[in-house]
Structure 1
Amino acid sequence: MQYAILCYNDENAVASWTKEEDDACMARLAKVQGDMAAKGKMGPVARLLPTTSATTLRKSATGSMVIDGPFAETKEQFLGFYVVEADTLDEAIAFAKDLAVANPGIGAYELRPVSLFFPHTITAGSGAT
């Protein structure tokens, strides 16, 4: 089963990190990603730009409207995601727990099974750096 692991955090807190703090966190995350990639279970990883760069298409029964900004105003923003192959939900949760250790502090990792998947995108070593 493939799982999308959606990363949420307070983007103002993340944006306040020094380059050294950000680089250290990314290095810890790369280690966790590398372990999953070595098993051939790492899919795409993306780190999103701040919500200030977002554009949203809001839809309704009468049409749609394009607006600047994120979909929702919340304390925690959707900052990025992982796609991993896991034999069980417990395995996916264990990976998310490793991510949480590598990136301590507030936030959340939301796990969702993926129903549409293109197997050619998962290859050993495909994790983000």
Structure 2
Amino acid sequence: MTSNSAESINTLFRSARKLPITRLIDFFVELVQKWYFERRQLGESIHPVPDELEWEIDENDDKLETPYMDKRQVGRPQENKRIPSRGEETGLTIFSRCHHKGHMRYQSKTPLASQVGSSSKQK
């Protein structure tokens, strides 16, 4: 896997790959000189921060409230449920034993097939 910086440099060097070795070295030298020149220009435009005594302090700073920091709950965080799309309806649970919707196995009154007649079978 390559990083974005490696891919960027590869695109810069793509045009120079077919050059003879002396021209290739000249290309690299000019490119690096250009990078350092631009970096030097940007370095002059950045102004240093003055000492703390020279800062201009606004009187309204006293009125700012600190943000409310909520305590994290103890234990494992709950799983985030998927947000349904617009118009999407949640499906009801269909129980396989009685094929009715909206209830679970433990709520069903229908006995299991293995439980029906199991008391009559004896060896």
Q: Same fold (TM over 0.5)?
A: no
TM-score, length-scaled by structure 2: 0.22
Using CA pairs under 8 Å that are at least 6 residues apart, name the structure with larger relative contact order, 1 or 2: 1
User: Which one has the largest radius of gyration?
Assistant: 2
TM-score normalised by length of structure 1: 0.22
